Amino acid sequence: MLKLPCNSADQIQALASQCRFLTHHHNRPRFTCRSNVVVLCSPVSKSSVVQAVVSEGGTTRVDSVRESLTNRLRLGSLTEDGLSYKEKFIVRSYEVGINKTATVETIANFLQEVGCNHAQSVGFSTDGFATTPTMRKMHLIWVTARMHIEIYKYPAWSDVVEVETWCQNEGRIGTRRDWILTDCATGQLIGRATSKWVMMNQDTRRLQKVTDDVRDEYMVYCPRELRLAFPEDNNRSLKKILKLEDPAQHSKLGLVPRRADLDMNQHVNNVTYIGWVLESMPQEIIDTHELQTITLDYRRECQHDDVVDSLTSVEPTEDSELQPTNGSATATAGDQDCQDFLHLLRLSSMGLK
């Protein structure tokens, strides 16, 4: 179940692109065999040597370099205490919509990228999203269970955004990761996000409790005191998503995952779900509003051969407590244009959420 409050002005643009294959005789697509490359990075300091263990074609080698090209070009690093990570992103032309501001999918991709880079900077593997040594031995991966994003001001094309992230323990079955987004030019807070992650066995696709060994591996990089992106009491990230009643007021049926929607965990990436949610939004809302807050509960995986239905209904007014924030973290009185929606993504064949 998903919840989508909106306010102000944004439009969603569908981009169509053409592609062609390099062909040989008889116009047959030409493909080459893919080799498997796994890179394990050790924690980086300005004076340390990076040890890169590369496995390719069944052969393993260790590469030692003063500093990798990736680390030199990446605009990110651990903070002074080593317990959070900051990275700057330039909003590219292909990351904005028709109004020249970043799309919500772009923001979500920033969050995912800085989280992965944080894990890589402390030596966790790039073979999967932030897997620790024990997780790799046990064939475990992290998957998103819940995501809450609030955007107070969308960055424009060529703006520079700094994203800070940190992770913390979240009970016995998961971990949490929070983010703060800042406009580098003004220092203004433009967004916040929080998420919950759980472990899944990559072979059985079943959830598994976080073991003490795994917890010990990542907890040394977590803040000692509880730090929350949303410290306010009764903040919107804590709200339970209401059930969307049948029949839905709006729908988009038969959505099919593209190959590009699949990630390294062999399922549809969590950011793709946001785009599917917006597919069933009324066009008049898309034309006159911009998404301010979105909360997603992920119930099950979506595979490449699944077909998905996107359902949307207006949230009843008495259940909607969210007010527009007009670019700040504090709600303002007098703005009455905020509209809340409930969403549901389900598998077309079985009706599963």
Mean pLDDT in order along the chain per 10 residues (353 residues): 45 37 45 53 46 46 53 86 96 95 98 93 75 90 94 98 95 91 98 96 91 92 94 93 94 96 91 96 93 95 95 79 37 60 91 61
Q: Supply the pLDDT for residue 336.
A: 59
Distance (Å) of CA 233 to CA 5, 137, 236: 20, 40, 9
pLDDT for res 105: 97
Note whether 143 and 196 are within 8 A (CB).
Answer: no
* Contact in structure between 141 and 208 (CB atoms under 8 Å): no
- Measured between alpha carbons, how far is 344 from 276 in angstroms, rounded to an integer? 10
265 given a catalytic annotation? yes
Query: How far, CA to CA in Å, does 205 sit from each of 1, 109, 143, 208?
Result: 21, 24, 10, 9
In the numeric block, which tokens belong to residue 139? 């064939």
Give the span between the Cα atoms of 280 and 313, in whole angstroms: 9
Among the listed residues 6, 148, 167, 267, the single catalytic one is: 267
Q: Positive or negative CA dihedral for 5, 92, 143, 79? A: negative
Determine if the pTM surpasses 0.75: yes
> Cβ neighbours of residue 120 under 8 Å, at least 6 residues apart?
41, 126, 130
- Can you name the residues that pair with 191 across neighbouring β-strands? 151, 181
- Contact yes or no for 257/249 (Cβ under 8 A): no
pLDDT at 325: 36
Of 117, 265, 269, 270, the active-site residue reads 265
Q: What's the CATH architecture for 71-239?
A: Roll (3.10)
Structure tokens at 199: 């472990």
Q: Specify the residue for token string 């007021």.
A: 249
- Is 14 in contact with 252 (CB distance < 8 Å)? no
Token pair 């998103």 in the structure block, residue: 144
Active site residue 116: no
What region, left, alpha or beta, does residue 303 occupy, with left being phi > 0 and alpha being psi -120 to 50 degrees?
beta
The label of the residue with tokens 């991709």 reads 109
d(CA 37, CA 60): 10
Of the candidates 6, 41, 222, 302, the residue annotated as catalytic is 302
pLDDT of residue 98: 87
Residue 225: per-residue pLDDT: 93
**296 beta partners:** 2, 147
